[in-house]
Amino acid sequence: MPLRVGTRGSRLAMAQTTTVCDMLRSRGIETEVVTIGTVGDDRTGVPMHKVGGQGIFVRALDDAILDGEVDFAVHSMKDIPAKRPDGLSTCAILRRDSPADFLVHTCPLEEVKVVGTSSTRRRAQLLRSGLDVEVKELRGNVDTRLRKLDEGMYDAIVLAEAGMQRLDMDLPGTRLLPQWFVPSPNQGTIAVVARDDPEITGQLGILDDAATRRDVEVERAVMEEIGGGCFTPQGVYCSDGFLIAEVLSLDGTRWERIEDNGDSITEGRLIGEKLHSIAYDLIEEARATLGV
């Protein structure tokens, strides 16, 4: 009997799910795809922090697993919130794709004046970058964002480079280096979440990449200690045990940043605690400004 996999219906989500299913099929494990709608897909006209934040793409899939509608789900790991329901297991984290953001634009970079993004982190980093730009709210899947760019509503939009790679998109623009435009924690990684049942997790665990899991677990430890939710402009990126973490003001004029070794979850928690302490005013300022 095939394993039932839950996924969002967007083209990117389906592509990521197909990747996982193909990897399982090559190992003799058959799957059946079940498409499930989420709040994040239904309410694209509202900023993320106003409709529930990071977990809006995940909750419906979690419920489907716990209710027995599906056996597992495939997520962009950056969408998975820190607090998780009992009875679930992140049983596989695939080898990381590009962690970087990509600024999509057809005009010369110096002519970009209006950039679309829904992320407070991306907004703050763009405003810090020295580019003379106005950043406007932009929600929706990749195709929706590109359509709005083509219609001239924006001069540029920000996409995750990993998503472009998974959709085989070769788009014009500028790669934003993760050393300065520090990515969202876990950006570029695909996670497989299943009911905490050894018969299921044992089959799916063969897809796990140990090196990627180590880096992203350190990033999640930092994220959990910083706190602040999706409304706080924060970037956390660990590569081969070297960690960069920062918290910015909403307008990108101020930030606190730590670069250090991040070889373990314990080190990640210590760095996260320190960053939370020195960036506390920025976190509280963002909370008060956005009313969350």
Active-site positions? 78-79, 121-122, 139, 145, 230
- From CA 243, how far away is CA 258, in angstroms rounded? 8
In the block, residue with structure tokens 């990747």? 19
Q: Please name the residues in contact with 221: beta carbons below 8 A apart, sequence gap of 6 or more.
A: 265, 266, 268, 269, 272
